[in-house]
Amino acid sequence: MKTATNKKTISKILIANRGEIACRIIHTAKKMGIKTVAVYSTVDNNAKHVQLADEAIWIGEAAPKESYLRADKIIQAAKDSGAQAIHPGYGFLSENADFSKLCNDNQLIFIGPPASAIEAMGLKAEAKIRMEAANVPLVPGYHGEDQSVERLKQACIDIGFPVLLKASAGGGGKGMRVVESLEGIEDAIAGAQREGLNSFGDSHLLAEKYLARPRHIEIQLFCDQQGNGVYLFERDCSIQRRHQKIVEEAPAPNFPEKVRKAMGEAALQAAHAIGYVGAGTVEFLYENDEFYFMEMNTRLQVEHPISEYITGQDLVAWQIKVAAGEPLPISQDELKINGHAIEVRLYAEDANNDFLPTAGKINQFIYPKESSHFSLDYDHGIRMDTGVSSGDNVSPFYDPMVAKLIVWGEDRDIAIRKLKNALHQTHITGLISNVRYLEKLVSLESFSQAQLDTHFVEDNAEAIKTSGTLTEHQQRLHQIFAAWYLYQQRLKSEDEQKENRKDKIQSNDVRSPWGMKTGWRLNSGHGDPIRLLAPEEISIQIRPLPSGSYSILFAEHNYILQAPNISISDSTSNQQMLTLTIKGSDVQANILDQSIKAQVLHSADNIQVHSHYGTSEFIQPPRLTMSDSEEENDHGLHAPMNGCLTEVRVQSGDEVKAGDILVIMEAMKMEHSIKAPHDGCIAEIFFNQGDLIDEGREILSFVDENEA
């Protein structure tokens, strides 16, 4: 291995990013005794990465193009702070060759590959040509300059359907469309071009054969300035939605050693062909013991922690050392695979609504107490990398990823068990997340048996939906927990009101019902019934009994709860988290003296109950409902999320058919097409292309064909 030359000093790093990856870099920099500078937009002024850094500099408004994509402001911030180097993280400017050059022109170390390497792999079409010359296997496809609709259509015909259209400058699933036939191909081309232009400033597309059942395998590699290179084995990233990964694991299960070696060497061959330096990932499609080059990400990947776990290496530390001119710390022969690691990405998104991103305040973010953060912990083997805490907001301006949960075990079975337990202990309230979806997914037999390919999510959609479904008896028990919690909250509120009354009735007789704080009422139950939506409305009446027990009446069942056996502990009152243990009996339900434990989380009108049975979510309906005049009608189409209106395809007075695309919105790097619910006519459009729209706002008024 070649040794260091022209080593540079890095004592302060500016991080040109935000959120989890910025916190991750800060963690390693502190361990290395390096000071850090954070940059932030207006909405990130109190973000965790700002709090963790040694200093922070404001660079603009919330929209990325006004802040995190402003290379000039970031360069100036680095100069003003005295930083010698800039770490771009991932996303934003991390794969921007012009930014890399700008750093170099301003005598700043760019902690990443040289601009020439970024350029070589930045445009997928040109990258395919380079890889073909380097004898790296490719998927058959079209990478030409002619981007006319007719030429792209002909390319798809020549390749043979199905075909994958992909933004040449893209990544992360943006600007991608699967085309099954000529029908709808023009919309697919236009959509992919538009996403490519909006996300990367380039509408250029390539087309390639869409493999039927491939696995998505990627190689983590590292090269230094002395020409040394190693690969840190592979990751399986086949479980995806919207062409974006949600579950990754290393090493890839059921992966032949000879293929591992061949793929690793092919990845290094690709890197050496472009003079690569630093951390990079070469992605392949793998099917029937054959693999094909897909693309190279010239940066650190979101899923790098699982490679860190199985190799015991801090890849961010490697990045900093390589950027300073040091050689790689170990050789290929010294790298060994240790155990198995799995990462799941926790997103603010609605898995029941086509994984539509959500935004808003995180009221509670609770995760396993034994979790480490950004570092390797082999004792517990649980790591939670995140840039948010309870009370923080998920902004519609940025990616909706909240955190990464990473587990490590001596083998895959142990890692899966740890992952299930860790997910069961992880709760996000205040907005919709994919935590429970992931918990169901990793509990599937098909996941345990590693039946992996890029269609896993679609193929297992129904199984994921029904996974962990509670029995009627288990649902009833969860309803009791939710009702009991709300009942206690009601009593607490009434007691507080009593304390505030000057004319409070005092009683020294502990046996007197007038002095009890149990909610006892003469000849009646306490107050109104507890109402829950689950999803149908249920009514639960809780009545204190003279014996000190409680009667819980609902669904034609009467549970008797023994007061001495009811315990409430509140170890995390600031998070409104209760652990209840209830002993009860119900002859009709054949529950005799059964003891059950659960956690109840309450956020606004949402109530979550978690037990070893699984999870239930309830809505507490308001006491007063909207009048008919206040109810939302169906004559308007509303924004399903906070976002930007990127395209308006209709005008006032247009007649449309059911399913026609009316407008297209983009939020959190995702496009969403809003379609006509039925035949009708456009009455009025309230926003223009480029406008930012809040969730729930009416975009246009729509008149039913029968009313037009």
Active-site residue list? 299
Residues listed for the chain: 708
SS3 call for 642: coil
Long-range Cβ contact pairs of 583-586 (< 8 A, separation 24 or more): 584/480, 584/552, 584/559, 584/560, 585/559, 585/560, 586/557, 586/558, 586/559, 586/560
- Tell me the two tokens of residue 311: 């190799």
Q: How far apart are CA 66 and CA 72, in angstroms?
A: 11
- Angstrom CA distances, 261 to 76, 81, 307, 592, stand at 44, 44, 16, 59
Question: Which residue pairs, CB below 8 angstroms and at least 24 apart, start in 100-104?
Answer: 102/71, 102/75, 103/75
Pairing state between β 356-357 and 382-386: unpaired
Q: How many Cα atoms are found within 13 Å in the side-chain-facing hemisphere of 306?
A: 31
Question: Cα angle vertex 612, ends 608, 616, to 5°?
Answer: 25
Tell me the backbone φ, ψ of residue 682, rounded to 5 degrees. Answer: -80, 120
Report phi then psi at 608, rounded to 5. Answer: -115, 135
**Dist. CA 195–CA 294, nearest whole Å:** 19
Point out which residues pair with 136 in neighbouring strands: none
Confirm if 125 and 206 have CB atoms less than 8 A apart.
yes
Let me know the angle formed at the C-alpha of 317 by 316 and 318, rounded to the nearest 5 degrees.
90
CB 60 within 8 A of CB 54: no
C-alpha distance from residue 42 to each of 58, 470, 691 (Å) = 7, 44, 19
CA distance 76 to 60: 13
Residues 6+ apart with CB under 8 A from 147: 193, 203, 204, 205
Q: Residue 226 burial by CB count (10 A; 0-12/13-18/19+): exposed, middle or buried?
A: middle
Distance CA 435, CA 344 (A): 9
Q: How far is 174 from 244, CA to CA, in rounded Å?
A: 9
Distance (Å, whole) CA 128 – CA 283: 12
Q: Cβ distance 446 to 239 under 8 Å? A: no
Assigned token pair, 237: 């990233």
| Strand order from edge to edge, sheet including 244-250 | 290-297, 278-287, 215-223, 229-241, 244-250, 340-347, 401-409, 382-386
**Token pair listed for 184:** 């709808």
Separation in Å, CA 61 to CA 19, 34, 76, 451: 16, 28, 16, 45
Q: How far is CA 277 from the centre of its chain?
A: 29
C-alpha–C-alpha distance, residues 297 and 95, integer Å: 8
C-alpha to C-alpha distance for 454 and 660, rounded to whole angstroms: 29
Strand extents, DSSP E, 144-277 = 163-167, 176-179, 205-209, 215-223, 229-241, 244-250
Tell me how far apart the alpha carbons of residues 343 and 302 are, in angstroms, rounded to a whole number: 10
